[in-house]
Structure 1
């Protein structure tokens, strides 16, 4: 399909917003597929990034840092533990609480996953020239500000 054929017929806020959401969904899918090929999904990488940046955390703190429901984080942590990418240690003061930490294997997987994600983003946004990237960055700042 040519670039001209891809242009929307209407440039109203709702039409452009839907186009943006579609593009964001497609870009996220491409990044997730590239990361999955490297062994992790975007959601798992985000969890590992929090641990890499903040150190070991209780699962409730991890859920809060990720803005996710504790049960969702528990399922992800269990999967990452089976892969030996994280460890869970019972809190001696409260046996119901578990502290999650990143293993060396987890650090290596995180590095590989982040690199795969960067490659996907460079491929996607590499289709834009420097001026277009600068314009898009400015526009995204405005969209982000209007979204809060």
Structure 2
């Protein structure tokens, strides 16, 4: 029987290998996995402030600003003044950004299908159940830690 650490290490190894392979394939199509996260977010939710992006993607504001600078330079997004706050800018995906995102999504989906084709339907269902349980447990632990930090901060 494998230890929890052996299984955990194998899971992290899988994640990193899949991430690297997908990033390489998407980059060949014109947008890295990291940049595609920004484009995907803007594509789904529409124009928004960079602070909204930072909060949603859990990135530092400076990281988001630098990423948007690069995306804007490549004409994948555009910044316009926020009509409600003259200090802020609204970021939108451009048509070029949509085309690049769509082109990069194809190899990502194709690779995921190819990787997971190693499992039959029953194994996929089992893996989904196992990973779902781990997600729930992770959320429980995070919530417990946040509640504990909140209690300690009030002392």
Name the TM-score class by shorter chain.
0.7 to 0.9
Match of 1:18 among 9, 31, 40: 9
In the other structure, the counterpart of 2:61 is 70
Instruction: Give the drift of 1:55.
Output: 0.7
- 2:21 is aligned with 1:30: yes
Instruction: Give the drift of 1:90.
Output: 2.5
Match of 1:139 among 124, 130, 138: 130
Q: Greater helix percent: which structure?
A: 2
Query: Does 122-131 or 88-97 show the bigger shift?
Result: 88-97
Q: Residue 2 of structure 2: SS of its match in structure 1?
A: coil
Q: Residue 44 of structure 1: SS of its match in structure 2?
A: helix
In the other structure, the counterpart of 1:130 is 121
Normalising by structure 1, we get a TM-score of 0.88
Q: Structure 1: 5+ residue runs without aligned partners?
A: 1-9
Q: Structure 2: 5+ residue runs without aligned partners?
A: 140-155
Normalising by structure 2, we get a TM-score of 0.84
- Taking the TM superposition and a 5 Å limit, the aligned residue runs for 1:1-148 are 11-148=2-139
